[in-house]
Amino acid sequence: MEIFKLKNFTRGWVAGNFEPAILKTEDFEFAVQYYKKGDTEKAHIHKIADEISVVVYGQFQMNDEILKRGDAIWLKPGDEMTGFECLEDGATAVIKRPSVIGDKHNIES
């Protein structure tokens, strides 16, 4: 068994086709990400990858929805976009499939 520290990985991404990674694979990406109230992420789409985000704890506004612990969203590739604001300290678990470098496309406001 190997033990790793999440802080040693870029924004909590621990598996995927990038470095550093615990598991380097083109099949998927996985992250656990922690946020503070007021943190935001710009609206973006993925043209190739599916993305599932699960709220582990806290509260987030994604698009026009308020998501809480136990809520999950599935963004399909193409024109489904999301950005978010963290409404209270929280964490998400995110999986993307496949792992494609450069597939995050920010939407200009």
Domains of the chain: 27-102 (2.60.120.10)
Decide: pTM greater than 0.75: yes
What DSSP character marks residue 108? Answer: P
CA distances in angstroms from 35 to 14, 26, 56, 96, listed in the order given = 17, 26, 11, 19
In this structure, the strands spanning 82-97 and 40-45 are: antiparallel
Query: What is the chain's pLDDT, residue by residue, as a tens digit (109 residues)?
Result: 999 999 999 999 999 999 999 999 999 999 999 999 999 999 999 999 999 999 999 999 998 899 999 999 999 998 788 889 999 999 999 999 999 989 989 987 5
Instruction: For residue 85, give the 3-state DSSP assignment.
Output: strand
CA distance 15 to 1: 16
Look-up: residue for tokens 């704890």? Answer: 57
CA distance 94 to 12: 10
| Structure tokens, 69 | 């612990």
